[in-house]
Structure 1
């Protein structure tokens, strides 16, 4: 596997074709996976707001407040309209010229599909596209990139029902290929290098038109997500589920 930075891209503005710019400077090959920073997608889609509208924007993008420090302080952690749990709903002010905010793309999966289809029209190469964004993680220091949009990429490798190297059954393992690739690509894109796109090469078996589940499919179903609850609620819900479990004599 290789991860190659795509250098020489311009500053993106509303209406600029990301696919055309990548095709012009990148040596795209069939089976490549293009990992595109969400910020340039948002810029190309004109997702700007004045900085003075931050409170209104945060309210509009927020579905649920997950955690906040009473009286202010650090940014609130919220679930946004895309189902992502992020600080300040993913609204960004860094690397944005002027007193402006940048919202996440309206529909990252649709944006990824459009880029993949246009790259194929321009180059004749069938590629996968991931749109990545940076987020923190519970219980872990630091941030990493994750996939918030995907097209023509297998984002989950579900190996439940198979066995490990010792012949033991795998009951819960689902490798999140989308997030692993997004994080790996960030190692060559960086945060302040002006390189918003990377090409992951050598993993063509994860690329194809048959992979239609976008990054939204990575978001865990609320009914299966104990982590969305507070500690007391999670313990209580776990007990309720145990009591409902058939055949449990404990």
Structure 2
């Protein structure tokens, strides 16, 4: 398997045909997986915003005031309002906002970006990333597309690539029912392939000002495995989120 960046991708603007831009710059094969950073997907879809677009309500002002108190940094209540409007659930409200987006992803500040947005204050995540992936897939020669982002994860420092949306493939390989080297049947192993490919692509995409938002994964083989179409945990089986709902942040002990 090899990964390489699509060269010379220009600055993406609202209304740009992202699929055409990709197809013009690389010779794709049907079995390639094309990983596209959500930043350029959002830009093409016009997901720009300014803080003045989000007049702060009472809840946003309350959240911003509390975060300002905890961090000794002034927090803009308009930003808190933007996070609220892009979320369906506040998983944590301090010492930062951890939220569930409208398409199921859990991340800090609803994934709203404040970097690489030269003419606006904010860049919001794509509204429906899997639909975005399907539109790109329809306009290129590859059958599989992943829309990716970077985010942290519990229990570890740093960020890594994760899949927000995908098209042309199931998100996970299901190993349940297969056996290990000792003949024991696997009962719980479901491998999140789209996240693994997104993380691998992020090594090539880089961070900051690299300017390589599209990566081709060539030679990835699914293998003789079943598929799992579950990706985001249901609340009934998400024990970490359930625990957080009963947890209170104490700045004197944390």
Q: TM-score, normalised by structure 1?
A: 0.82
Is 1:85 the equivalent of 2:110? Answer: no
For 1:89 and 1:233, the matched residues in 2 are separated by 21
Whose helix proportion is higher, 1 or 2?
A: 1
1:91–1:114 distance in 2 versus 1, CA, 3 Å? same
Is 1:226 the equivalent of 2:247? Answer: no
Is 1:172 the equivalent of 2:197? Answer: no
Is 1:116 the equivalent of 2:129? Answer: no
Q: Secondary structure at 1:31's aligned position in 2?
A: coil
1:167-214 deviations in whole A, cap 9, x for unaligned? 1111100000000000000001101201000000001547xxxx895x
Q: CA deviation at 1:231?
A: 6.0
What stretches of structure 2 of length at least 5 have no aligned partner? 55-78, 248-254
**Segment of structure 1 superposing worse, 144-153 or 222-231:** 222-231
Q: CA deviation at 1:228?
A: 1.1
8 A contact 1:131–1:148 mirrored in 2: yes
RMSD: 2.0
For residue 119 of structure 2, what is the aligned residue in structure 1? Answer: 98
What stretches of structure 1 of length at least 5 have no aligned partner? 120-124, 235-250
For residue 50 of structure 2, what is the aligned residue in structure 1? Answer: 50
Which of 217, 229, 244 in structure 2 is aligned with 1:200? 217
For residue 90 of structure 2, what is the aligned residue in structure 1? Answer: 65
Runs of 4+ aligned residues of structure 1 deviating over 6 Å after TM superposition are: none
Q: Secondary structure at 2:138's aligned position in 1?
A: helix
Q: CA deviation at 1:66?
A: 1.6
**Segment of structure 1 superposing worse, 161-170 or 55-64:** 55-64
For 2:245 and 2:235, the matched residues in 1 are separated by 17
For residue 59 of structure 2, what is the aligned residue in structure 1? Answer: none
For residue 2 of structure 1, what is the aligned residue in structure 2? Answer: 2
1:94–1:166 distance in 2 versus 1, CA, 3 Å? same
For residue 145 of structure 2, what is the aligned residue in structure 1? Answer: 129
1:104–1:231 distance in 2 versus 1, CA, 3 Å? closer
Q: TM-score, normalised by structure 2?
A: 0.81
